[in-house]
Amino acid sequence: MISIDDVKRRAQRDAKSRGIHLTPDEELLQDLIEGLKTNEERYGYPSCPCRMASGDLETDRDIICPCDYRDPDVAEYGCCYCSLYVDDEIHEGKKEARAIPERRPYDKQMAALGFAEKETEEEATGEMKESSRKLLYCRQCGYVVFRDTPPYVCPICQAKREMFEEIVTLSGHYTRKVG
Amino acid sequence: MISIDDVKRRAQRDAKSRGIHLTPDEELLQDLIEGLKTNEERYGYPSCPCRMASGDLETDRDIICPCDYRDPDVAEYGCCYCSLYVDDEIHEGKKEARAIPERRPYDKQMAALGFAEKETEEEATGEMKESSRKLLYCRQCGYVVFRDTPPYVCPICQAKREMFEEIVTLSGHYTRKVG
Amino acid sequence: MISIDDVKRRAQRDAKSRGIHLTPDEELLQDLIEGLKTNEERYGYPSCPCRMASGDLETDRDIICPCDYRDPDVAEYGCCYCSLYVDDEIHEGKKEARAIPERRPYDKQMAALGFAEKETEEEATGEMKESSRKLLYCRQCGYVVFRDTPPYVCPICQAKREMFEEIVTLSGHYTRKVG
């Protein structure tokens, strides 16, 4: 069983390691940390306390905290969707956190609510299920991820998602996919 | 030749980049940094100053500082096995660093002491030695590593090791291994 | 269109996340940030404001800021080639930033100036262009990158570039390349 303090410390370490902060609003902070703990106990992973999770990891993957949208939201608005993570200006009280638009794509929101296309029977029973994940790499620093879509920002060198490209194999050799 | 200052600065940068600290005990710090320097000169890599290294990189890999066990130990106990790395509370003197249990598996400890099973002759002479390393990815953020076992915590998104899964190729396509 | 403030904040977050700083010289800082913005608008990526870019991403990849040489230069000299990024000592005024040698290999500098060997016609027309990028991994922590040469320092565990080795596939299994 994970404790409130563990969840909070993990978030603090993560904020520090990214050069950002947790919200200075103590009450909000407590609520969000409790929400994360509840979700982690319910689903096995700390999904975003401000969004509806489905309970299916592949569906919820992008909203597990820190969610896929945190870094671009903090860069653009100074805070994440929940205002759990904030930038220097909001941390120092020079700016206020405000409601920001939901960056999560509409089809993912719908899927979380159960309005997604069902898997075909074949997919559901195949022993080796084909994944839509691909090996992608950042053309700037070479960072490799296995995801369906690139991250918004490269966590290693801060390059934009447009810098990511697929890696494919050609008779055992890796190469980059060209147009 | 690496200098004491270089080793110390590298450890400081690494602590900062993780949101943690070096021990506030100056004397202990000096001893540990000197131990790291000695090991780096002796083995070619800075293995843990508080553990017995074998001199074989594959055997010692998990105890090269920062060791595989640092992040889970700092998360659980507030400090690593050596107390070189500590969390906010210990850094600020609110809590004291104390001896913590050895998280390194027993078979790895024995291997470091030379009590491991020997390689078969075939393995030892094969031109292309099969590695037990696998391509693994974090199901949360997609981070990819080439290791025999997953890291305790994903260095990118802080997910637990249970989130890691193997990537396999299927006629040139990457897929995830299912059940 | 990216703003000056966005470029500056991105650099600040990146410095913090690495345990280093931006130059304390405000005038120099402003010049460098403006240079990065200009390059990002011109080339589509923020190449180093102190070096000649070619406009071809593969050629310029190593000098996109933060460049490949920043981390080893900050470790060895306390600042990067531009003095945009500095260490604690320079940040606190205990030491001054000074001109440092260019670590970028001579052939890359020449290529940026247009003195590189041309691609053969075959390479230029092949639908699937063979890349010189390889899957490489850090033997210490398992970090995987897709690059032609290893990074100077592993961004995850700070291991030296000599720790990187190629991953090859052998009938669908990944293995390490041995001698």
Measure the CA–CA gap between B102 and B109, rounded to whole angstroms: 10
What are the φ and ψ backbone dihedral angles of B39, each rounded to 5 degrees? -65, -40
> CB of B172 within 8 Å of any CB in chain A?
yes
Contact B153, B143 (CB under 8 A): no
**Nearest CB neighbour to B145, from listed C144, C159, C169:** C144
Output the tens digit of pLDDT for each of chain A's 179 residues. 789 998 999 999 889 888 899 999 999 999 999 999 999 999 999 999 999 899 999 899 999 999 999 999 998 899 999 999 999 999 999 999 888 899 998 888 888 887 765 444 444 444 344 468 999 999 999 999 999 999 988 999 988 899 999 997 655 555 555 54
Chain C residue with CA closest to B126: the answer is C178
Q: Residue C163: pLDDT band by 50, 70, 90 thresholds? A: very high
| Chain A contact partners (≥3 CB pairs within 8 A) | B, C
Model ipTM value: 0.75
Q: Residue C129: pLDDT band by 50, 70, 90 thresholds? A: very low
Q: Residue C172: pLDDT band by 50, 70, 90 thresholds? A: low
A vs B: CB pairs below 8 A: 82
CA dihedral for C87, C155, A143, B128, sign (positive or negative): positive
Measure the CA–CA gap between C40 and A162, rounded to whole angstroms: 13
Measure the CA–CA gap between B129 and A98, rounded to whole angstroms: 57
A147/B144 touch (CB, cutoff 8 Å), yes or no: no
Residues in A touching C13 (Cβ below 8 Å)? 18-20, 75, 87, 158
- Give rounded-to-5 percent helix, strand, coil for chain B: 35, 15, 45
**Nearest CB neighbour to A175, from listed C58, C128, C168:** C128
Query: Which positions ≥6 away from C169 have C-beta within 8 Å?
Result: A169, A172, B169, C175
Residues in C touching B45 (Cβ below 8 Å)? 140, 159, 163
The candidate with the shortest Cα–Cα distance to A81, out of A73, A89, A71, is A73
Confidence (pLDDT) at A175: 59
| pLDDT, mean over chain C | 85
Chunked into runs of 10 residues, chain B (179 residues) has average pLDDT values of 89 88 95 96 94 91 93 92 95 91 89 66 43 90 94 89 85 54
Confidence (pLDDT) at C160: 87
> CB of C158 within 8 Å of any CB in chain B?
yes
Query: Which positions ≥6 away from C122 have C-beta within 8 Å?
Result: none
Contact B131, C137 (CB under 8 A): no
> CB of B92 within 8 Å of any CB in chain A?
no
Counting beta carbons within 10 angstroms of the beta carbon of residue A113, is it exposed (0 to 12), middle (13 to 18) or buried (19 or more)? exposed
| C133-158 pLDDT, tens digit each | 999 999 999 999 999 999 988 999 98
Confidence (pLDDT) at A142: 95
Confidence (pLDDT) at C125: 44
Confidence (pLDDT) at A128: 40
**Nearest CB neighbour to C75, from listed B10, B68, B155:** B10
B159/A127 touch (CB, cutoff 8 Å), yes or no: no
**Nearest CB neighbour to C140, from listed B17, B61, B136:** B61
Look at strands A85-86 and C164-170 and give their pairing.
unpaired
Confidence (pLDDT) at B82: 95
What number is the average pLDDT over the span C68-92?
93
Confidence (pLDDT) at B176: 58
3-class DSSP state of A145: strand
Contact A166, A145 (CB under 8 A): no
C145/A144 touch (CB, cutoff 8 Å), yes or no: yes
Q: Is pLDDT at C107 greater than 50 in this prediction?
A: yes
> CB of C85 within 8 Å of any CB in chain B?
no
